[in-house]
Chain A
């Protein structure tokens, strides 16, 4: 699994998952660079982590709670003001289905 260069097929799969359009040159560029980085990262496999719990939540142990109360929120117009397109208090997008 490790120390193996990424294949072009894998790069295309990752780009698809991440919703990124890449040119053929970019695909090759990232294939080569990510392979080098992953090769360096692979040294983590040598570490014995049996019985070691994972760190989650940045190590914070507190979990603050608050009363579940209705509060004012930001005005709709203000939230829509940054959208590329909006209509009738909603974000407007191109068709989802053909």
Chain B
């Protein structure tokens, strides 16, 4: 019974708990069993607290069923860049080894207050810098569809945990594509909210003008539920918006009549995997058949997103990561003077990609280069944002591929960081514009690897992209397909 229980969607878990078909304890046990069987192969988790989760489940079961708490008794996982009091938080880095945060991130706290049970912390590229989860100081995560391949990144642990049905929902973060790209590689639904929509209090900062807290789930419906609970102004985060949340009641009617979908020609580039182009066009055609109007659009500054991002994000990271100095948290390298402590601790405990980005950002902000690099990037960012604003004058949503390739082999980009950065070309523009995006499965390539479609919406219109994804998932079952690894497991 248990493996099947762990494979349920969040909505099914919720319904089953409410009708008394199973208990929160059974759900948590099923989740822990799935982790015990599959995580040795996947390494999606950096930390699991089984005892605490079981105790919380038992407490949930003692309460009356009608608690009014929408996530009552549901186990979830949290990317290890968001703090949870009582659990260590490493950000995938040795420089935070052994760090126990004194408070819980607002996004997580709101889910806990809604009844969710945090079962553990998931693997991430160090400080969320990467596209493969290979940059974790604690070992890479494997893709559940093919363990020789990467799950994407940086939220690869959370994406793999949902794809392998270890949890029905997991939190991730998206600075340049770190929710959408792993969702695509792992065949799950991933929502990146509007910049400012979800509080970042308790999120370990990477690029402060870009960081967003998102969610992975099997369905858009489940993602919408988690999102609606996390979203909204938080007095503890001055960058969290006071914009009211629109109605997130998703349509039951499988129709897209009246919807205008824009397809940007700049997102179909030479060198991308032909099957991605094909599956993307098929999905868009299905949406047209559901009544949507499809028009080609242009986002002319798309090609500049990569250079803009790789100036702005590292520049902000170099400032944000200045706090890791061996004084207030994390291990300290032994040295005789304070200056040597700084140099040794940071040089020894930051990983290669993090050092690369700190160096790049420090250079871009250094005297004599600031205007030419960071200043120019900030202006180019305005042009990228204007591209989207102009497009949304004529279309309701934008549909595009999420990645130029399906999940690549581990080590494929090991010696060539620029080629790894190029994996993000389709996710970076929306991050720079601060607009919401959702990625969901629309098919597979010839090797059986998932392909995700990306839908982008105007600022604060998560409701629109969630609704379209939900309608698509009513008439397709790509999002319900299971990796062989998990299927074999469920058949036992």
Residues of chain A at the chain B interface (Cβ within 8 Å): 1-2, 6, 10-11, 13-15, 17-22, 26, 30, 33-34, 36-38, 40-45, 47, 49, 52-60, 62-64, 66, 74-75, 78-79, 81-85, 91, 93-96, 98
Q: Decide: B383 and A37 in contact? CB cutoff 8 A.
A: no
Secondary structure of the B contact surface, majority rule: helix
Which of the 9-residue segments B7-15, B23-31, B334-342, B403-411 touches chain A? B334-342
Q: Decide: B344 and A58 in contact? CB cutoff 8 A.
A: no
Given contact pairs A20-B347, A33-B356, A82-B100, A59 touches B327 in the complex (Cβ within 8 A): no
Given contact pairs A49-B380, A52-B382, A62-B241, A37 touches B360 in the complex (Cβ within 8 A): yes
Chain B residues 375-413 with CB under 8 Å of chain A are: 375-383, 385
**Contact partner of B328 among A53, A55, A58, A91, CB < 8 A?**
A91
Residue contacts A-B, CB under 8 angstroms, 30 given: A2-B372, A17-B366, A20-B347, A20-B359, A21-B344, A22-B347, A22-B355, A30-B355, A33-B356, A34-B360, A37-B421, A38-B363, A43-B304, A44-B308, A47-B383, A49-B383, A52-B379, A55-B378, A57-B209, A58-B196, A58-B434, A63-B238, A64-B233, A64-B242, A75-B102, A82-B100, A83-B329, A94-B335, A94-B340, A95-B336
B332 at interface, CB cutoff 8 A: yes
Given contact pairs A18-B359, A19-B343, A52-B382, A44 touches B210 in the complex (Cβ within 8 A): no
In angstroms, Cα B329 to Cα A74, docked, is 15
In angstroms, Cα B208 to Cα A60, docked, is 12
Q: What chain A residues lie within 8 Å of B45 (beta carbons)? A: none
Q: What chain B residues lie within 8 Å of A19 (beta carbons)? A: 322, 325, 342-343, 346
Chain B residues 430-444 with CB under 8 Å of chain A are: 432-434
Q: Decide: A94 and B336 in contact? CB cutoff 8 A.
A: yes
Q: What chain B residues lie within 8 Å of A2 (beta carbons)? A: 372
**Contact partner of A93 among B301, B311, B338, B418, CB < 8 A?**
B338
Q: What chain B residues lie within 8 Å of A63 (beta carbons)? A: 238
Q: Decide: A44 and B359 in contact? CB cutoff 8 A.
A: no
Q: What chain A residues lie within 8 Å of B362 (beta carbons)? A: 14, 17-18
B220 at interface, CB cutoff 8 A: no
Secondary structure of the A contact surface, majority rule: loop
In angstroms, Cα B417 to Cα A79, docked, is 37
In angstroms, Cα B469 to Cα A82, docked, is 43
In angstroms, Cα B421 to Cα A33, docked, is 13
Name B348's closest neighbour in chain A (CB-CB).
A21
Given contact pairs A20-B358, A82-B100, A14 touches B366 in the complex (Cβ within 8 A): yes
In angstroms, Cα B383 to Cα A41, docked, is 16
Question: Which of A22, A44, A83 lies at the interface centre, i.e. has the most chain B CB atoms within 10 A of its CB?
Answer: A44
Name A6's closest neighbour in chain B (CB-CB).
B363
Q: Decide: B377 and A44 in contact? CB cutoff 8 A.
A: yes
Q: Decide: B358 and A18 in contact? CB cutoff 8 A.
A: yes
Q: Decide: A54 and B382 in contact? CB cutoff 8 A.
A: yes
Name B331's closest neighbour in chain A (CB-CB).
A84
Q: Decide: A15 and B359 in contact? CB cutoff 8 A.
A: yes
Closest CB-CB distance, B318 to chain A, in whole Å? 6
Name A63's closest neighbour in chain B (CB-CB).
B238
B448 at interface, CB cutoff 8 A: no
Given contact pairs A14-B366, A18-B358, A58 touches B380 in the complex (Cβ within 8 A): no
Q: Decide: B310 and A37 in contact? CB cutoff 8 A.
A: yes
Q: What chain A residues lie within 8 Å of B358 (beta carbons)? A: 18, 20
B235 at interface, CB cutoff 8 A: yes
